[in-house]
Chains A and B, each alone.
Chain A
Amino acid sequence: MNWLSQNLHIVGQLLADHLFLSIPPILLSLLISVPLGRLAAGSPRLRTPLLTGTGLLYAIPSLPLFIIIPALFGFSLRSPATMITALTLYGCALLVRGAADAFSSVPQDVRLAAAATGHSRWGLFWTVELPLAGPVLLSSLRVVTVSTVSLVTVGAVIGISSLGTLFTDGFQRNIDASIVTGIVLTVVVAFALDALCVLAARWAMPWQRAVSRA
């Protein structure tokens, strides 16, 4: 506690850095994965290559990816762009499959009914498929949110500052309190963003609550 009160300013700065690195990749991967997942769900021919491709992406370890990406895209090794690109790729690796599953979970007879009542293709997507895919999509998004927040810390070993810096600093200078603070704050941030996802979903999908209460 003593350590924390003396270093409150630094910890606050690292926390802000951490949020700045975690939130964009979560949103970006959602934005990219929803259309890709819809494509995969709608076309058996696209499904396999899309899902295997993004699935293999997940197999690439994070630390090496943080090093391969700057080499490929010409970013500098320690730039936030590296981190955000890598984490967006990871997010997509999980979310494309999640979104494909989500869109496949929309019952065929509901799509049929919506088409029969004269929804256009576009209207069907926005007002029927997307809301109904919501619950399954949410569960993948929550996984991506939590693991992104946790993965951001890995960047600290190549010098990208985040709450992970508390680990590398604490280890080199032999300060337990620094590492423990980092672990606790990372978990807290992960759960806070997760809770935010759940709240947003509850607001956007009121029928979910009504039905589960019934």
Chain B
Amino acid sequence: MWDAPGIVGLPDDREEPRVIEFDAVHKEYPDGTVAVERFSLIVPSHRVVALVGSSGSGKTTLLRMVNRMVDPSSGTVSIDGVDVRSMDRVKLRRSIGYVLQAGGLLPHRSVADNVATVPVLEGRSRRQARADALGLLERVGLDTALADRYPAQLSGGQQQRVGVARALAADPNILLMDEPFGAVDPIVRDQLQAEMRALQADIGKTIVFVTHDIGEAFALGDEVVVLRTGAEIAQQGAPAEILANPADDFVASFVGAGTAQRTLRIRQVDGRDVVVDGDGRPTGVLER
């Protein structure tokens, strides 16, 4: 299934390192608001890093620094050691996939044309790009019959899938996702997260995504970075580490550790181990 055109043909890309490094980036707006205060982080190649925090934590600003939608006031963002400020904005953006909340689709273009956006901007023929787009639609679990519809004619979940397909169309090595599944209902969100994990297992991109939903961060991130106001790192680590050892009260309350929802116990029912949450409500069965 993964021989969708447009993605195959550059098999070596996956072996290339794609490390994103934030080095003491600082962002202050003209009105004096400090969005990001001296933030440093290394995003390792082929890994998924989740930046999680509430609004005002500067997480989206950080994400936008990578493709130069926002330039830091000081400090540098580099990709494989090259400062992004030395790269052309437009070319840089075309080389990085970007998924926005609700897909961020262009409402006046059909689904296939949306997916084909970047390849066409890069000079590929529209017909070829559209043909490739059909493969990508299948890849993200969409019926190719939707190709000629307009975004407003799709459900929220479908739009989100198109958004992912568009981000993958130019076969970027890096994927940025801004609250990628924030606009859909919980059931669809769970499904999309599961598919995203399977997709990532296949394509192994370097992915940075931001979310305010700690559950989503744990579901998708290889590594999770919990942010306070001004993008101050409260804790950083694998999901299990953060759950097991929250660094402080802020992180503990953010991840909900110790609250009813996160604390699970095992209770014997009819000879099986039933897992219950802090309120004693069953959430599943334990398999040994």
Q: Using a CB–CB distance below 8 Å, which chain A residues touch chain B?
A: 107, 109-110, 112-120, 123, 128, 131-132, 205, 207, 210-211, 214
Contacts and interface: CB of A to CB of B under 8 A. Distances in A.
A211 B152 contact: yes
A131 B118 contact: no
Interface stretch (B91-99, B128-136, B242-250, B252-260): B91-99
A118 B91 contact: yes
B93 A118 contact: yes
Interface of B: 67, 69, 90-95, 98, 100-110, 117-118, 121, 149-150, 152-153, 166, 176
B117 A207 contact: no
B124 to A, nearest CB: 13
B69 A112 contact: yes
A117 B121 contact: yes
Contacts of A210: 149-150, 153
9 contacts: A109-B100, A110-B107, A113-B106, A117-B117, A118-B94, A118-B118, A132-B108, A214-B150, A214-B152
Nearest to B92: A118
Contacts of B100: 109, 112-113, 116
A207 B93 contact: no
B108 A116 contact: no
A131 B95 CA distance: 25
Contacts of B93: 115-118
Contacts of B95: 118
A116 B91 contact: no
Nearest to B67: A116
A207 B94 contact: no
A207 B108 CA distance: 5
Q: Taking each of A117, A119, A128, A211, which has the highest tally of chain B beta carbons within 10 Å of its own beta carbon?
A: A117
Contacts of A112: 69, 100, 104
A123 to B, nearest CB: 7
Contacts of B94: 117-118
A110 B94 CA distance: 16
Contacts of A214: 150, 152-153
Contacts of B102: 109
B106 A211 contact: no
